[in-house]
């Protein structure tokens, strides 16, 4: 039995280890090499990644969905006095109605959010399925504008508002939201999920018709702060301030000096530059540090809003008063106060009692922006500001600055201010872009996974084929070696029988003849000498061909000389070869046929030509090997040369070498045998 050498055995181990690691790799494991393949070979993958990069660039210009708790009112929520078997469990509704019918062109619903020990739930008690309808004054449905399904299953919807364009605008008196399937969270221990909303907007242009409108529901609300019916239409969404983040704006608002007295008289006022009609103000709280953890600290508990035409003391009159009870802590939200339209040039916000959280902590009043409204339009942008204290700019944290001028610059502490409508539209656009990014990422992941799975399948198939080959090839190799060994044994037996056996038999007969007839002994001895030389040459050839490493061994020319020296001992002979033929290394079978051709040629000359000189030449030109054997004997007559049996053994050897044999002869002029055969990769190893 034979075995493969050490290197193939190690190679098999490496391949088997690679196969096992490839097949056992988890199919759902992220694969960078799958993406690498897709990036090189898939135009669709590259297109998806380019689109994702473009969409991510667009996202940076949009407002964000924050993850922090801004405090203040949370919104509307149904009561929890129902359960899964209650007839209204999947039939909750909430309705917002305003006094007179108005044209509505945009409805926006903001999911409620809640922070607890499990962190942020940005879609707190959002119905799984719900419908949105526009209604008339009697609550009759005018139009179904949305029918949502599987909202809690949406991986992108994380507090993003639902926005519904109504084109053309529809005149109505309210909007109704009906839950058709609630979401039951099995991890909750406080009862079944009900319906809640952070804010409901109904826009006509920039005007929010739902602001402070009547809110009704089919389940009474008994939840304490921060869940109340009115919080569904107070324009406080839980999403923070309506802004586009802008970290390059250093002026973050104005705050008063810290004081321990809650009754410190602090005020800020805007000079409109001329007498203008105004019907409200909107203030934005300052927030300049992520470590600022006390929502609503800058809004006074009690205050009044005053207006004046001249700005002289004694000329101010109160248009809104929060002086009898404390104002609810609205957290980090913008707050709007409205009153019947009045003419004024100066609008002042005056503190009566600052909000105090602990005795050890000082109290402040401050805003990041102070807007004066006329029909929901800010008429105070870039107007002059006057304050009761801290009139000069002072540094805040880092590069930020407190200054009274920043109260009317159109920026909060974090970014540029948007209208509520524009804010909702841009947040909805963010949702659409993020949904598009998710689809593209899933598409590119599918492409990469396809390349990965195809590679694994191809590798597994190739590995299986290689494994089968590693098992089958040694078997086939052993079978082939056994066949070759049997053929070699048969050939050795044939050569020994044909060459050595016949020569030994002839020698025996000639010896007996010489002994019985002494007068012919000299001739018989010469024949015996010739036969024994041939037998020795044949035996040396057989041994030479069978030596280990004889395949593609040292050049055959050196052995030619040994063979010629044995066979031509009594004659004058010469041997010539060029450098190329001397260096040419031939295979075992080619060497064998070439040696047999040479020996047959020499035997013919010795036996039949009566020559005295033999010349042997070899050359290699243009990848053609030539062997020429010439003698000065009697030659071959034309009639004999034309016979198909003449030189038949030489012709057969030439055919085995895939070459040609030519005999050049004439009576009494000697004979030249010329063999030519091509040198290829099949019969030589040292081709240039």
Pairing of β 317-322 and β 302-308: antiparallel
- The radius of gyration of the chain's CA atoms, rounded to the nearest angstrom, is 53
Q: What is the pLDDT of residue 526?
A: 65
CA-based max dimension of the chain: 171
pLDDT at 92: 83
Tell me the C-alpha distance between 179 and 95, whole Å.
12
pLDDT of res. 308 = 97
d(CA 156, CA 149): 14
pLDDT of residue 199: 96
**SS3 of 487-511:** HHHHHHHHHHHHHHHHHHHHHHHHH
Per the CB < 8 A criterion, the answer to whether 346 and 312 are in contact is: no
Residue 687 Cα distances to 137, 624, 681, angstroms: 101, 12, 7
| Residue spans of beta strands (DSSP E) within 359-445 | 366-367, 369-374, 377-378, 384-387, 394-395, 401-402, 415-417
Q: Contact at 8 Å (CB) between 218 and 88?
A: yes
**Ordered domains of the chain (ranges, CATH):** 76-233 (2.60.120), 243-417 (2.60.120.260), 547-688 (3.30.565.10)
What pLDDT, on the 0 to 100 scale, is given for residue 49?
93
| 534: its two tokens | 């041939």
DSSP E strand stretches across 155-308: 162-181, 196-197, 199-204, 207-208, 214-217, 243-245, 251-255, 267-284, 302-308
Q: What is the dihedral of CA 534, 537, 542, 546, to 10 degrees?
A: 180
For residue 156, what pLDDT is reported?
Answer: 94
Where the chain has pLDDT below 70, the residues are: 1-31, 80-90, 184-193, 220-224, 288-293, 488, 491-510, 512-514, 516-517, 519-521, 523-531, 533-555, 685-688
Query: What is the per-residue pLDDT for 24?
Result: 45
pTM of the model: 0.68
pLDDT (0 to 100) of residue 70: 87
Query: What are the residues facing 114 on neighbouring strands?
Result: 121
Do 142 and 136 form a contact (C-beta atoms < 8 A)?
yes
Residues 6+ apart with CB under 8 A from 585: 552, 553, 554, 555, 684, 685, 686
Catalogue the E-assigned strands of 20-81: 76-77
The C-alpha torsion from 641 through 644 and 648 to 651, rounded to 10°, is 90
């Amino acid at each position: 039995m034979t075995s493969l050498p050490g290197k193939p055995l190690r190679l098999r181990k490496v391949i088997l280890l690679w196969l096992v690691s490839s097949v056992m790799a988890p199919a759902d494991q992220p694969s960078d090499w799958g993406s690498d393949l897709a990036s090189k070979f898939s135009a669709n993958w590259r297109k998806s990644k380019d689109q994702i990069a473009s969409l991510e660039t667009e996202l940076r210009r949009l407002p964000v969905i924050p993850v922090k708790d801004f405090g203040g009112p949370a919104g509307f929520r149904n009561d929890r006095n129902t359960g899964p078997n209650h007839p209204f469990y999947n039939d909750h509704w909430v309705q917002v109605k305003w006094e007179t019918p108005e044209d509505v062109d945009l409805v926006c619903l903001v999911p409620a959010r809640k922070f607890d020990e499990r962190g942020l739930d940005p879609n707190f008690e959002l119905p799984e399925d719900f419908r949105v309808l526009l209604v008339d004054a009697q609550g009759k449905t005018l139009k179904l504008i949305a029918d949502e399904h599987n909202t809690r299953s949406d991986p992108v919807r994380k507090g993003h508002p639902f926005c519904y364009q109504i084109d053309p605008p529809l005149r109505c008196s309210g909007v109704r939201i009906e839950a058709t399937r609630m979401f039951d969270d099995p991890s909750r221990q406080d009862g079944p999920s009900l319906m809640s909303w952070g804010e409901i907007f109904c826009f006509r242009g920039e005007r929010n018709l739902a602001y402070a409108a009547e809110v009704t529901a089919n389940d009474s609300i008994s939840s304490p702060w921060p869940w109340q019916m009115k919080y569904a239409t107070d324009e406080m969404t839980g999403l923070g301030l309506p802004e586009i983040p802008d970290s390059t704006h250093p002026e973050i608002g104005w705050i008063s000096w810290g004081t321990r007295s809650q009754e410190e008289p602090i005020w800020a006022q805007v000079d409109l530059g001329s007498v203008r009609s105004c019907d409200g103000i909107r203030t934005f709280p300052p927030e300049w540090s992520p470590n600022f953890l006390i929502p609503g600290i800058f809004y006074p508990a009690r205050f009044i809003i005053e207006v004046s035409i001249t700005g002289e003391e004694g000329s101010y009159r109160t248009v809104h008063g929060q002086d009898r009870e404390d104002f609810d802590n609205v957290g980090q939200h913008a707050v709007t106060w409205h009153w019947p339209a009045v003419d004024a040039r100066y609008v002042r916000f005056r503190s009566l009692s600052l909000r105090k959280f602990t005795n050890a902590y000082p109290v402040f009043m401050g805003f990041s922006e102070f807007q004066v409204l006329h029909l929901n339009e800010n008429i105070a942008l870039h107007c002059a500001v006057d304050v009761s204290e801290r009139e000069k700019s002072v540094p805040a944290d880092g590069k930020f600055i407190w200054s009274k001028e920043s109260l009317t610059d159109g920026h909060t502490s974090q970014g540029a201010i948007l209208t509520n409508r524009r804010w909702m539209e841009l947040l909805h656009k963010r949702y659409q872009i993020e949904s598009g990014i998710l689809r593209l990422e899933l598409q590119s992941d599918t492409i990469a996974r396809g390349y990965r799975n195809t590679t694994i399948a191809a590798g597994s198939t190739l590995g299986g084929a290689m494994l089968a080959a590693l098992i089958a090839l040694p078997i086939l190799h052993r079978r082939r070696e056994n066949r070759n060994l049997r053929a070699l044994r048969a050939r050795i037996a044939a050569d020994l029988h044909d060459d050595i056996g016949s020569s030994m038999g002839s020698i025996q007969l000639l010896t007996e003849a010489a002994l019985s007839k002494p007068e012919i002994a000299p001739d018989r001895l010469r024949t015996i000498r010739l036969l024994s030389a041939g037998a020795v040459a044949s035996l040396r050839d057989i041994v030479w061909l069978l030596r280990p490493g004889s395949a593609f061994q040292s050049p055959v020319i050196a052995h030619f000389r040994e063979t010629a020296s044995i066979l031509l001992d009594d004659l004058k002979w010469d041997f010539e070869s060029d450098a190329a033929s001397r260096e040419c290394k031939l295979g075992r079978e080619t060497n064998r046929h070439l040696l047999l051709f040479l020996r047959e040629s020499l035997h013919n000359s010795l036996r039949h030509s009566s020559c005295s000189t033999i010349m042997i030449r070899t050359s290699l030109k243009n990848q053609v090997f030539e062997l020429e054997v010439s003698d000065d004997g009697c030659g071959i007559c034309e009639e004999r040369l034309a016979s198909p049996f003449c030189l038949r053994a030489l012709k057969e050897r030439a055919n085995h070498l895939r070459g040609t044999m030519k005999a050049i002869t004439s009576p009494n002029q000697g004979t030249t045998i010329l063999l030519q055969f091509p040198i290829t990769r099949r019969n030589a190893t040292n081709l240039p």
